[in-house]
Every structure is written in C-alpha cells, then in structure tokens.
Amino acid sequence: MKNNFYLYIFLLNVFFLFCICLETIKIRWQFSQEHENNAYLKVANNKLTEINFNLQTEYYHLSSPAKVERHAKEILKMVEISKLTNIDYEK
C-alpha cells in the first residue's frame, strides 16, 4: 500500500512538472510574439512619423504666402491694386 501511495505522489509530481513545462513554453511563445509586435509597431511608428513630416512640409509649402500670391496672379488672373479708386453710386 505504501508503494502505491509513493507511485501516486510521483505521478502527481510528474503531472505538475509537465503542466509547468507547458506553461513555460506558452509564456515564452507569448514573449516572442510580443517582441515581434513591438518591433513591427516601432517600424510602423517610424513610417508614420516620416509621413507626418512630409505632410506637414507639404502643408506649409502649399499654404505659404508666396504660393497663394502666385496662384492668385497666374491662375485667377488677379492683379495688385496700384491706386485707390472711389466709386460713387448715385441714388
């Protein structure tokens, strides 16, 4: 009877050891997945930072006063007012 008890305890310990080994493998796999995700997010963050910089540069270029003035002169055919003209409307 004593041998059966020791065998039962031994098998119970082996089962717990097996469960702990499986849990260790699962946690290491999760760590590797999180490391890959972190690396991917760093690359994506760098790309988005670069795109943001390019968009800000384009925005500042397109909204610069010189660009707006050139657009008004060339495309809209607007000219600067060189002298003040009073227009009196008769009633």
pTM as predicted: 0.55
Q: Are 72 and 78 in contact (CB under 8 A)?
A: yes
The alpha helices in the chain, defined as continuous H runs, are: 2-62, 65-74
Backbone angles phi, psi at 77, to 5 degrees: 55, 40
Where in the chain are the domains? 2-72
pLDDT per residue as tens digits for the range 46-81: 999 999 999 999 999 888 888 888 888 888 877 776
